[in-house]
Chain A
């Protein structure tokens, strides 16, 4: 990209205009303007999302699929319309490839329970990486434990980069016993962007399917499941500016069609008698009970909001924020950045010598700055770096360079108070 083009893109992204769409950002905390750097945990909501949820409650409240009255038709149209929006957003071939779940965690559990578990025999293996969130570890541990199979973690280096040679070795050594590779698109603890397309290529060369935990990626980069070449892709609405309590599992139709349901109930059947039940086709087979209809409406509004922005300009803006934060924090004596992979996004994890991460978090909160302190639900990667916890600043499209400077100033202030 030429300098002129790059400037044009930077100019095209008006962060103040974006911030104006997020009412939650405009408040004071402990007398200071809120600086919200907790976006890897959850995101603030734009007006469009709030309005979509409100519209459902004010006008369209009804159950879906079975009613013949007008409100039921509207609710069904809202819900199934959201499925089409998600399919379009992910580059899925058809809306039927999109299963609504409660979130990323349930999506991964569904694949563990209904896709992997029936295939697992004693001695089989599931591969993950050392940098996974607990949501992409524990479901595999559960089914591996039941089947007498083994969960193997692929190593990462000191920067937080996945060792692809170790993947090759594990695939070769495991052979046909490897039933799945599961990895995060972006590490929630380190910010590493994993080469999922390359992982999928290598795994597929040996006939092994790949699940991608996209919870941290969807808000930050365009995702095209066809281009990635994965078999399953999971994400949560609330991390991409939508409501909590709903998420998505995208799956290849040839996988979904063979999967048994995880939950039984209404809306997932074709016919029921006491002699037996015939299940509905995907995706309904996996959506027993009344779903989160207003959540789907909000999620669709969030994805439309994001799609209406210049995503390349968003990416450039966020990349600049992360680089700025790494530079500002990195030059403070006593601050160590954790996770320095060349391909990183949205997340800066760090420690401050002489101040426990929880004290860093409390001190920053005193100046209105929200960050996360702890193990980030990724204890193995903390163990890998020999740390009980880190402080983590995580960015979204509405953050500013002024906020990065406030973060660095607050860390210096904490050092002053603690005398370190």
Chain B
């Protein structure tokens, strides 16, 4: 799956897209592959505050739980309700329909600290080499 050029990425495999001060946050295709079939997603409530680097939710597969770390600080304005009924969307469309939360950014500069697509692709390519080494 291609990694959208307009997204920013973290080393914990979250992506973030910013428009008009609102950031949409999700996990990457690489992350969903590592997790396997997702069975449950736990997201914060609207109005919750998230902080950079702090866990704001979890994604569960049958035998693993992954924390999701906030790539930026802000206030949650929407959580993706479809994931409650259809967590498998994360496996099929991680960069689109399976966005996790939308956040009103507290600090617009947060986004610029993240990797761009080239850096992220290089980062996961390195990871792949580690795994087969």
Partners in one complex: no
Residues of B near any A CB (own CB < 8 A): none
